Amino acid sequence: MMRRFVLAHDTSRFFSKRIVSVSFLFLAIGIGSAIQSGAASDSMVDPAWKSYSQVSGVSGNLNSIGSDTLNNLMTLWAEGFRKEYPNVKIQIEGKGSSTAPPALIEGTAQVGPMSRQMKAKEMDKFEAKFGYKPTSFPVAVDALAVYVNKDNPVKCLSMEEVDAAFSKTRRRGHSVNIDTWGKAGLDGNWKSTRVSLYGRNSASGTYGFFKKKVLKKGDYKDEVKEQPGSASVVQGVTEDRGGLGYSGIGYRTSGVRAIPLSAKSGAGCYDPTFANASVGKYPLARFLYLYVNKAPGKPLPPLVSEFLKYVYSTAGQNIVIKDGYFPLPQTLITKKLGEM
């Protein structure tokens, strides 16, 4: 999904494609435009966001099955939405992005949160049953972070170095296997300290995104300690002096440090911040999605539609900021609201 960002002025290509296949380049342009059109460069708030307004006829049960990365966000959105509609019941299950497509196909969930785009084979299975593809709604931006223990002094890692730490195939071409922190440039007591790896399990969209974007579809090392959730990765690195792990920026705690990354050796190093993600400097930014079953030419059920409208409102996007992720510009929100 994500490519190296290139500055461009023609955004018409963005609006001519479904979000499910759009390059992250155009998101960067959208956020940059939002900053330039009224928000300060250090602010994530788009003054063009709209308040949510209650409507009548919204009731029932809303089931969400999918991404662990989005679990906290979904919980916070659900709490806010239920303040608008106290009689609505919302159930949330976050065991990994790969659980979202079958839940939508089987009808056990109306909303499928995913931290990656649906794979072609997942969309094909959906289409085989319904005769059309699922619809994706980007709802937030994540700067996927590479974490070290808070006491680790490493200043920056290149994508080649991260690949050499996590992958046994090293498709980015780094000359050495990084298995000690000395091989990542540290000296003193750190030089011989083993790099202890923490990652997600294969059900996770984060696992797949990291494998594709960092490892170039190479193989993870056998010694990567696979965790069932994002918080578990962060906790593992917190308790392990030599720890190195990857997880959503929204799961950052005081026990870890999200290190700056460079897109390639010798390039500039950038922190996983809103400003850096907005202009394409941070190399691991991505959309977070909600997938739904929407028949062509038909509106979404009111409960699903209003939940999405809440997510896209001022309240919903402020929740994104509260949870440590990055919000969307109103230009993109307006486009997606028009697709409901």
Dig out the tokens for 267 from the structure: 């390039």
Q: Which domains does the chain have, with CATH numbers?
A: 12-142+288-337 (3.40.190.10), 145-271 (3.40.190.10)
252 neighbors 144 (Cβ within 8 angstroms): no
Rounded Cα gap, residues 333 and 296, in angstroms: 20
291 neighbors 111 (Cβ within 8 angstroms): yes
Q: Which residue is listed with tokens 């950038």?
A: 270
Dig out the tokens for 171 from the structure: 């498709």
Global confidence as pTM: 0.85
Q: Tens of pLDDT along 77-124?
A: 999 999 999 999 999 999 999 999 999 999 999 999 999 999 999 999
Total Cβ atoms within 10 A of residue 178: 22
b/e 48-58 (16+ beta carbons within 10 angstroms → b): ebeebeeeeeb
240 neighbors 149 (Cβ within 8 angstroms): yes
76 neighbors 325 (Cβ within 8 angstroms): no
Dig out the tokens for 215 from the structure: 């490892």
Rounded Cα gap, residues 226 and 16, in angstroms: 39
Tens of each residue's pLDDT in the chain, 340 residues: 332 222 222 222 332 333 333 334 444 434 444 333 333 345 899 999 999 999 998 999 999 999 999 999 999 999 999 999 999 999 999 999 999 999 999 999 999 999 999 999 999 999 999 999 999 999 999 999 999 999 999 999 999 999 999 999 999 999 999 999 999 999 999 999 999 999 999 999 999 999 999 999 999 999 999 999 999 999 999 999 999 999 999 999 999 999 999 999 999 999 999 999 988 999 999 999 999 999 999 999 999 999 999 999 999 999 999 999 999 999 999 999 999 9
Q: What DSSP state is assigned to residue 182?
A: G
Phi/psi for 233 (5° steps) reads -60, -50
> Which amino acid is residue 133, in one-letter code?
K
- Contacts with 176 (C-beta within 8 Å, 6 or more apart), sequence order: 164, 183
> Which amino acid is residue 157, in one-letter code?
L
pLDDT confidence of residue 278: 87
Q: Tens of pLDDT along 312-338?
A: 999 999 999 999 999 999 999 999 999
Closest CA to 273 of 259, 287, 263: 259
pLDDT confidence of residue 43: 82
Q: Which residue is listed with tokens 């994508």?
A: 159
Rounded Cα gap, residues 113 and 287, in angstroms: 11
**Could you tell me where the DSSP H helices lie in the chain?**
12-15, 24-36, 71-84, 100-106, 120-130, 159-166, 205-213, 230-238, 274-278, 302-311, 314-322, 330-337
Rounded Cα gap, residues 104 and 171, in angstroms: 35
Phi/psi for 251 (5° steps) reads -100, 10
Query: How big is the chain, counted in residues?
Result: 340
Q: Which SS3 state, helix, strand or coil, does residue 10 take?
A: coil
Closest CA to 46 of 54, 58, 38, 55: 38
pLDDT confidence of residue 42: 56
What residues pair up with 148 in beta bridges, in sequence order? 244, 257
Q: Which residue is listed with tokens 């007591």?
A: 189
Rounded Cα gap, residues 327 and 321, in angstroms: 6
